[in-house]
Amino acid sequence: STCTAPSGADVKLQLQWFTQSQFAGYFAAVDQGFYEAAGLNVEIVEGGVEIAPQKTLASGAVDFAISWVPKALAEREAGAGVTNIAQIFQRSGTLQVSFKDAGITSAADFAGKKIGNWGFGNEYEIFAALSKAGLDPASDVTLLQQNFDMSGLLAGDIDAAEAMTYNEYAQVLEAVNPATGELYVPADLNVVSYEDEGVGMLQDAIWADQARLSDPAYCGEAIAFVKASIQGWAYCRDNVEACRDIVVAKGSTLGATHQLWQMNEVNKLIWPAAGGIGVIDTAAYERTIGIASGTKNLDGASVLTKAPDTEAWTNDIVNEAIAQLTAEGIDVNGSGCPSRVAAWTPALFVVLWSTGFVGAKYGTRDTGPLTFLAIRFTLAAALLGAVALLIRAPRPTAAEARWVLVAGALMQALYLGGVFIAIDLGLPSGVGALISGLHPVVTSIAAQRVLGERLVRAQWFGVALGFVGVVAVVVDRILAHASGFTGAALIAAALGVLGISGGTLVQRRKCATTPLVWSTVLQFASGAVLMLTCAAIFERFHVGFTAATIGALAWAVVVLSIGAVMIMLWMLQRHVVAKVSSLFFLTPALSTIEGAILFDERLGALALVGLVVSLIGVALVTAR
């Protein structure tokens, strides 16, 4: 029968857990009016430990439910007429997390260890991984019932605890390491991903009442519900912080920082969606069925005793929803405008950032370097602060703000202060960029120890190539007998390297999830206070308001401080430190080209070779 579009229909959605960013797309669809525009009045019913969404749906108490595929299929086998109409999560987010000293890096290392699991049907990926590794769950490991938290791991009662990428794993990173007094970092942990182990099972999906799908009205509600839900998830893909705020406002137990982590991780399980968000991939579905029917627990039972019938799932509803969304210009694959922007963002950042060194030379011709920066930071903080107030941007907590101020002191005051002083002392703009370009080496090495980020061999080769490229351009400048190589200028530039390296690490370790706009404002405020103090002491606010100074200030405030800095912080929140820092390898060569054009600084063949080598290095380090 033909499905009829709803008009003001009341429907209920049953979640499978408490309010959190795992369900942000549905909350966003309510908040942004997507359900209302689709002709639905949606009531979202919170889940909990004792609530089985698929049972609630089968009872008729709700109209749709969110449930993991194995659990819902088990209920269907028991007689519940539920059907998967949209597979929102495309990948499994289940992990087994352990401390480094346990030596657990794969399922094969579970042997002889205490392995935690939640039960309630969440344990079958563990049993499948044990079976694949040739381990007997009854004799080769000790399986322990685990609470829905990481207390057992933190107390030492469990060697490896079950966790979701978007929830319990973050709970460990939010706990204090008693040995250091600091929060745990990824370097303290080993993670076994069941998706990577090849035993990941499909998880969050939208389930409908199979019998009612033959009703034109309910069928139309299902299409409208899936369509608006996908709109909600697309909105959360493109507006991560806004969705975090929506979830927090709905009363999530865990706070804003945790919900932002969760939102980012959940997006990774949904996007990219090659076949379209919600479309059931038959290979992933069959793998899930194989594990659910072929893997037995300690009692010898499997989730399923037989393969589900063909009506257990359908792509008809989601395909219709996707067709309507595509016609409206909604990106249903995660490969549209946002992804293209992300692809060219690094290149835009490098070009903008390289002009800062040229701007420093213009800006310090008639104005003291510290005074120039004091004015720049003050104006940038005021302008962006006004924007933050106007758009009611979310604010960091007091604890987050303190670390943002530290990052600002390092990344704004020390880094740019060192660069501007060096250039004011006569160091050519290109050479200043070259010395600053060495900081990715320092940052990448430090990130190994401080943040636990790891580079593969090819990426380290890229780091080496980037370093060689920088050295090549430096040598070219020396051979050209460039002026400005005084000890004081070189020390100032070196301090700048330490500033941006330290600031990058602080940003990633302490400020990775802080609200972007206000974080940038606070960084400028921190830099402004320090530069105003130093300018008053050492330069007595020496300002020459010439055309060059005004032009350099305008460019520095609008393009560099607001534009380029926000791009950099945005990238730091989404990529590992070494990959972001490696982009700076391109800056020296570009600044040298700009210096050659604007200031007639010599550009030799060796510098061109350095540019090419740096490009290759960046490509290797930033490769996914």
DSSP characters for 430-472?
HHHHHHHTTHHHHHHHHHHHHT-----HHHHHHHHHHHHHHHH
Task: Tokens for 259, please give them.
Answer: 């919900």
pLDDT at 619: 64
- Dist. CA 599–CA 65, nearest whole Å: 66
Tell me how far the alpha carbon of residue 107 is from its chain's centroid: 26
pLDDT at 338: 43
| Residue 276 CA neighbour count, 13 Å, CB half | 20
Task: Tokens for 431, please give them.
Answer: 């050479």
CB atoms within 10 A of CB 134: 10
pLDDT at 516: 74
Q: How confident is the model at residue 577 (pLDDT cuts 50, 70, 90)?
A: very low
Please report the domains of the chain, with CATH numbers, ordered by start residue.
9-90+201-327 (3.40.190.10), 94-193 (3.40.190.10), 367-621 (no CATH)
**360 has pLDDT over 90:** no
pLDDT at 449: 63
Q: Which residues pair with 43 in a beta bridge?
A: 12
pLDDT at 622: 53
pTM above 0.85, yes or no: no
Q: How confident is the model at residue 33 (pLDDT cuts 50, 70, 90)?
A: very high
Question: Residue 118: what are its φ and ψ, rounded to 5°?
Answer: -85, -20
**34 has pLDDT over 90:** yes
The DSSP H or E segment spanning 282 is helix 282-294
Q: How confident is the model at residue 519 (pLDDT cuts 50, 70, 90)?
A: confident
**624 has pLDDT over 90:** no
Q: How confident is the model at residue 1 (pLDDT cuts 50, 70, 90)?
A: low
**Mean pLDDT estimate for the chain:** 86
pLDDT at 340: 45
Of the given ranges (32-41, 286-295, 312-321), which has the lowest mean pLDDT? 286-295
Nearest to 267 by CA among 295, 216, 232, 228: 232
Tell me how far the alpha carbon of residue 455 is from its chain's centroid: 18
Residue whose entry in the numeric block shows the structure tokens 């501007």: 420
For residues 165-191, give the mean pLDDT. 91
**90 has pLDDT over 70:** yes
310 secondary structure, DSSP code: G
Q: How confident is the model at residue 38 (pLDDT cuts 50, 70, 90)?
A: very high
Question: What HEC string does 482-494 produce?
Answer: CCCCCHHHHHHHH
564 secondary structure, DSSP code: I
Of the given ranges (97-101, 497-501, 591-595), which has the lowest mean pLDDT? 591-595
Amino acid at 95: L
Instruction: Check: CB of residue 260 under 8 Å from CB of residue 240.
Output: yes
Q: How confident is the model at residue 386 (pLDDT cuts 50, 70, 90)?
A: very high
**190 has pLDDT over 70:** yes
Strand, helix or coil at 66? Answer: strand
